[in-house]
C-alpha cells in the first residue's frame, strides 16, 4: 500500500475505530457500571453516534459479535480497495461517504431539524435549525478531520488524474513522432 492510499484511508478507518470504541465502551459500562471513566467515555462517544449506534443495534439484533464482524468487514473492504488499480476513486468514495455519515450523525445527535417556510417550495426554502446549537469537542474534531481528509483526498485525486493525463500525453507524443 503506497502512502497516498494509506493517507486516504485514515479518516474512514478512524471513524470506524471510534464507532467500535463506542460499542466497546457501552458493553464495558454494562460490565462495570461504577467506573466513572467508562461512563464519561461512553457518554462522549454516544453523543457522536447516538442514532447511528441505535440503528446499528437494531440491524444486528443487539449482537456485539455481529457488530464487531460488520465493522471488521468494513475495515477489510476499505483496506482491500487501496490495493486495486483504481484505488483513488474507491478512496474518494469511502472518504466522502464517511464524511456524509459523520455529518448526518452529528446533526442527528445535536437535534437538528429541517424546517420549511412553505408547502409548495419546500426544496428552495429549507433551513437547518437546532434547539441546542452547540456541539461537543469530539463532534467538532470528527467533522474538522473529515473536511481536512476530503480536501486532501481532492488534492490527491486531482494530482493523480493530472499525472495520468501527462503520461497519456507523453505516450501520444511518442506515437505521433
For 1-51, write each residue's pLDDT tens digit: 577 778 889 999 999 999 999 999 999 999 999 999 999 999 999 988 888
**Secondary structure of residue 109 in the 3-state scheme:** helix
Q: Which residue has the cell 458493553?
A: 27
Judged on CB neighbours under 10 Å (0-12, 13-18, 19+), 67 is buried
Q: Is the pLDDT of residue 121 over 60?
A: no
Phi, psi of 82 (to 5 degrees): -75, -10
pLDDT for 119 beyond 60: no
Per DSSP, the three-state class of 33 is coil
What pLDDT does residue 114 have?
61
Q: Which residues contact 109 (CB under 8 A, 6 or more apart)?
A: 47, 48, 49, 50, 51, 139
Mean pLDDT throughout 143-164?
90
The total of structural domains in the chain comes to 1
For the segment 63-113, what is each residue's pLDDT rounded down to a tens digit? 999 999 999 999 999 988 888 877 778 888 899 999 999 998 888 877 776
Across the range 103-127, mean pLDDT stands at 65
Q: What is the pLDDT of residue 115?
A: 59
**How are beta strands 112-115 and 127-130 bridged, if at all?**
antiparallel
Number of CB atoms found within 10 A of residue 124's CB: 9
What is the domain extent for residue 122?
3-176
Amino acid at each position: 500500500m503506497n502512502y497516498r492510499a494509506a493517507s486516504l484511508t485514515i479518516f474512514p478507518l478512524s471513524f470506524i475505530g471510534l464507532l467500535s470504541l463506542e460499542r466497546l465502551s457501552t458493553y464495558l459500562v454494562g460490565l462495570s457500571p461504577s467506573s466513572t471513566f467508562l461512563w464519561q467515555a461512553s457518554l462522549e462517544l454516544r453523543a457522536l453516534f447516538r442514532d447511528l449506534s441505535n440503528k446499528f443495534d437494531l440491524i444486528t439484533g443487539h449482537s456485539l459479535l455481529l457488530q464487531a464482524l460488520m465493522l471488521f468487514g468494513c475495515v477489510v473492504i476499505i483496506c482491500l480497495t487501496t490495493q486495486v488499480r483504481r484505488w483513488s476513486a474507491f478512496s474518494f468514495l469511502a472518504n466522502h461517504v464517511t464524511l456524509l455519515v459523520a455529518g448526518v450523525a452529528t446533526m442527528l445527535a445535536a437535534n437538528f431539524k429541517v424546517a420549511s417556510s412553505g408547502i409548495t417550495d419546500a426544496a428552495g426554502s429549507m433551513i437547518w435549525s437546532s434547539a441546542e446549537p452547540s456541539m461537543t469537542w469530539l463532534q467538532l474534531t470528527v467533522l474538522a478531520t473529515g473536511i481536512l481528509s476530503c480536501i486532501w483526498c481532492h488534492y490527491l485525486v486531482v494530482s493523480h488524474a493530472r499525472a495520468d493525463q501527462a503520461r497519456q500525453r507523453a505516450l501520444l507524443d511518442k506515437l505521433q513522432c
